[in-house]
Homo-oligomer: A and B are copies of this chain.
């Protein structure tokens, strides 16, 4: 016996004001009925909330929309289904109480509160639709409601009369009930089967009366004439209810009622409604405990029921304090609160309070219905998702490694994308004018291969996953022709998608880029750099989908399944956002549809890692683990073999005519005077501007330093081909890669030191095998001077040399800078150009050629006792040292190693052999830079001496720093004297 059943023992039924589909399907309603609940009412506000927050209704709506049903029809179908099911759950109560209890209430449209005939018509229809004896139709006790109530009761339809606030209102409906029964008797109809309750609303009375009392209370004032309106706060509703109950008892005592009761009439019970406490300073059961008594119902929301079960004091109380109640009502008048006016106002407001959520619900339903008007075969897509999961399980078990659970969480998303939403052509991976997909969460590669396989886009055996002879790698790379950019280092896909989306806009291709991210990778700052770029550039053709499976590699993701956090973040970064259940195909399809309307759009999908196989679902310890053979068999059995095959229709987005082939054969014109002082960073900018005019595919990016890197000219001249990337170098490089993947020739520049920020992006870019990707780092070395070490690029050569097949160029004057910038446009792969902050003298003629892999020997003689290899700023120091040494009778060979990688091994080795000594001088960390490259090239041909940065630099003048770090002309001379001695 719990407090709810105790309540029943005192003659009061506990009903609940919270009917949702979830309540039914989860078994909660049945459980609560077990516990003693004796009735439930539906309510548009709760229905609206359930529909907005969950997806329980989505597939029904999708199906009904596809079947052409109107919003009104869909509403009635959904609600009467729920109500009918609830009636069935409560039916045992109804049967056991022989029709006295166990009811479910369903209201007519609140728009009919003042329309008698329309209320009658709708009540009849709903009654027939639900078709259950334990249904209550709710009709408000308004002036127009009363005749409707009488007529419907007369017809044998059970009525829950709502929205009663006053005793006068109660009297009218009590009379209507008795009249209806009398008419039934007159017509020879039975009356024991007709039921009614009169619902008295409580908390709203106190809310309004308290407000009016507070208007009559001067803050901080003492009691004036001894009567303080404050003492009436929170007392009106119960006083009114207790007096109403007294009136109810008088009805029961009347001869008229007794006559009906003798013929089997059921008591029209008093129902206390609106009984959750609104004012948090009041007791949470203030509308429950004082109103217990025979022939009553109390309809409570969940939290009030919880409070009741927890600490409710159950005793018969409804007839206690009647005199006090009368006093309260009298004092209210005395305080200037007119109770008639209060109840009239509350009735009006009550109608409004029903109408608002009802209209909102209908609007929401209409919107969901519209989303689904395009007929979609959801079942087929669901089957395909299951098939993809099936295949992924087999592939990863066969491979003995991989990430099946991370694939299963996004199977529905991929099925919806590849087999419904995306316009693409499975026969042509090179088509430009199609929607494209970037798998930022690269570890889910198996499901990408599975989708491509099922769509007929690849013929390769999916069971070859991760084999050394297969293009189906562990993480996607363009070894497989369907992959534009390599992913697998998390948080990089969205930047690449930015570049692809930007390229589409430049090429006037009206196709979208879809990027699938994991929730875990959203911890990477680069995702937010990318998000900002997309919003600032208005990339409406970009759709990010986040697979929020709530689990990282080592434990829960930082926000578990809270899709709201990510939605708020994307919104704060300027995106449209949609939150969906990532396993509800109707929701997914609807969200993808809605993403067509503008963007960038982020779809935040709540998913379950390992979805589809119970042992894996939401289980920890399964990241990156395949099933063993035995588990696989069980999993495959659980998933079942759908046998579905879906043909993907080849679709392209409009006509696409590629731009004219760029006129790449023309050389740029370089114009400097010998000895002119020009910074190589400025020469880079000039060359870029000229190249931009020659090659329409060239695009430029820069990290808020155009006035330092030299890119200013290009930015002004070709604003549509320039992408201001602000201080976000990772995204700058990632976007450049995406542009490259879409056929552009990107030049991205910032300070050399800040490219270290993007090293993971640069490292990954090599696996994307871009045809062109030019990165320029300005302000190399200590020669930048006073700004100090944070701004000095000292690791950049090491960083780029370590890439496979990279090209590292380091011009020393304006001519070589322009020529090497030009050469970069024609070289394949990743090219790094290192430029210098201070001006240096022009030493080469304007037409000089600078082949990649070459070098320039600037001084050479048969008497050379030492080869000095330098590049960039140190070349000028070396040249000065050469002259000084020459004056001292020491001949040195001077080599400009402008191509650090590939390095001119032949020339260097010959020089090493001929001069027996080599000195490398570089404005870079001594390890990993030019000296290492020269050592590797010359091998044992000669001892390689090194001058480079070996101690931490600081602020100072350029000359002071070159000297301090022993790479100045003076240091070189000194070292040369030492070595050549």
Contact = CB atoms under 8 A, between A and B. Distances in A.
Interface of A: 111-115, 118, 143, 211-212, 214-219, 221, 336, 338, 341, 344-345, 348, 351-352, 355, 399-402, 442, 466-468, 470, 473-475, 477, 479, 486-491, 520-521, 523-529, 532, 536, 552-555, 557-558, 565, 568-569, 571-573, 702, 704-708, 712, 724, 726-731, 753-754, 756-757, 759-760, 762-764, 766-767, 769, 785-791, 794-795, 798-799, 801-805, 901, 924-925, 927-929, 931-933, 935-936, 939-944, 946, 949-952, 954-957, 960-961, 964
Given A466-B956, A932-B932, A215 B351 contact: yes
Contacts of A957: 468
A754 B524 CA distance: 11
> Which 7 A-B residue pairs are closest in the complex by CB-CB distance?
A525-B525, A488-B790, A468-B956, A798-B802, A932-B932, A802-B928, A757-B760
Contact of A955 (B468, B490, B705): B468
12 contacts: A113-B215, A143-B336, A477-B788, A523-B727, A524-B529, A525-B526, A759-B760, A767-B952, A798-B798, A803-B925, A931-B936, A932-B932
Contact of A790 (B487, B731, B940): B487
Given A763-B753, A802-B925, A954 B473 contact: yes
A801 B798 contact: yes
A346 B951 CA distance: 79
Given A474-B787, A477-B789, A786-B466, A759 B795 contact: yes
Copies in the complex: 2
Given A787-B474, A960-B468, A525 B946 contact: no
Nearest to A798: B802
A975 to B, nearest CB: 15
A925 B114 contact: no
Contact of A927 (B468, B788, B933, B954): B933
Nearest to A208: B348
A731 B798 contact: no
Contacts of A728: 523-525
Residue of A218, A338, A520, A762 with most partner-chain B CB within 10 A: A218
Contacts of A336: 114, 143
Contacts of A933: 927
Contacts of A760: 729, 753-754, 756-757, 759
Nearest to A552: B704
Contacts of A940: 940-944
Given A401-B786, A475-B789, 17 more contacts: A114-B336, A211-B348, A467-B955, A470-B955, A477-B954, A524-B728, A524-B757, A525-B529, A528-B528, A552-B727, A568-B572, A756-B759, A759-B760, A763-B794, A767-B790, A927-B932, A935-B936
Given A726-B520, A952-B805, A554 B706 contact: yes
Contact of A936 (B221, B705, B932): B932
A936 B111 CA distance: 88
Given A114-B336, A943-B939, A726 B798 contact: no
A123 to B, nearest CB: 14
A37 B479 CA distance: 74
Nearest to A113: B215
From A212, A727, A954, A956, name the one whose CB has the most chain B CB atoms within 10 angstroms. Answer: A727
Nearest to A336: B114
Contact of A727 (B524, B571, B705, B756): B524
A665 B487 CA distance: 46
Contacts of A552: 704, 726-727
Contact of A726 (B338, B558, B726): B558
Given A727-B523, A802-B928, A790 B489 contact: yes
A173 B795 CA distance: 84
Given A572-B565, A728-B524, A215 B954 contact: no
Given A529-B524, A932-B928, A216 B114 contact: yes
B802 A753 contact: no
Contact of A520 (B112, B477, B536, B704): B704
Nearest to A940: B943
A28 to B, nearest CB: 32
A274 to B, nearest CB: 19
Contacts of A486: 789-790
A488 to B, nearest CB: 3
A801 B799 CA distance: 10
Contacts of A805: 951-952
B351 A344 contact: no
Contact of A801 (B442, B727, B928): B928
B954 A479 contact: yes
A215 B705 CA distance: 61
Nearest to A213: B114
B212 A348 contact: yes
A726 B560 CA distance: 12
A208 to B, nearest CB: 8
Contacts of A766: 952
